[in-house]
Amino acid sequence: MDTEISLRVDGAERRLTVDTRTTLLDALRERLGNTSPKKGCDHGQCGACTVLLDGRRANSCLALAVAHDGAEIVTAAGLAADGDLHPMQRSFIAHDAFQCGYCTPGQIVSAVAMLDEAANGWPSAVTFEAPDGSDGAVGTGPVDLATSPDEIRERMSGNLCRCAAYANIVPAIQEVAQS
């Protein structure tokens, strides 16, 4: 059942016709020609399709496009404004934080979103394992990722890398978190 929706993708307003069954991922890849987010599993199990959906990272493969009419979407292609690479993208290159590159746009969008989440004080499972107060409570201030690779690893575990560049992904993110 076709329906018309609009999306703001990487800063550009787009109108398109989708089937109610069309996921955001397929809307981007097959209807708008934006193949920056990748299809790895199509079931929210690998993270290759990660985009910023209204400012938050999300698996675009499990989001129905029709349910996100009017949404703002940023892909890894949109992080690189005006042709300049995002610092996270530069750091991934410098640390060789990928091999085949297929999970990479999702990893990078995820990492960029994670920096915001930590700055906003969002805890992770790891934050609770090492509470900073003696009463076991977890503070609500910003979480320092630069000095806690365990935090980065936990928060990035929704992005699988079969080439297994994890040992390079973590320092690539740490470097950006430090700056």
Interacting residues with other proteins between 84 and 123 (CB under 8 A): 85, 89, 92-94, 96, 98-105, 108, 110, 113-114, 117, 120-123
* Binding residue (CB under 8 A) for other proteins from 14, 16, 35, 146: 35
Contact map string, positions 117 to 156, toward other proteins, x by CB under 8 A: x--xxxxxx-xx------xxxx-x--------xx-xxxxx
Contact map string, positions 159 to 178, toward other proteins, x by CB under 8 A: xxxxxxxxxxxx--------
In the bound state with other proteins, the residue whose beta carbon lies nearer, of 54 and 178, is 54
Phi-psi map region of 10: left, alpha, beta (phi>0 left; psi -120 to 50 alpha): left
User: In which residue are the tokens 């990035």 written?
Assistant: 156
* Binding residue (CB under 8 A) for other proteins from 57, 71, 74, 145: 57
In the bound state with other proteins, the residue whose beta carbon lies nearer, of 8 and 138, is 138
Q: How far is CA 167 from CA 8, 101, 111, 123, 163, in A?
A: 34, 15, 14, 23, 11
Residues in Cβ contact with 33 at an 8 Å cutoff, skipping those fewer than 6 apart = none
CA distance linking residue 13 with residue 88, whole number of Å: 25
Total interface residues for other proteins by CB under 8 A: 94
CA distance linking residue 60 with residue 29, whole number of Å: 11
Taking the complex as a whole, how short is the minimal distance between the CB of residue 67 and other proteins, in angstroms? 5
CA distance linking residue 166 with residue 36, whole number of Å: 20
C-alpha closest to that of 124 among 169, 155, 166: 155
Q: Does 33 bind other proteins (CB under 8 A)?
A: yes
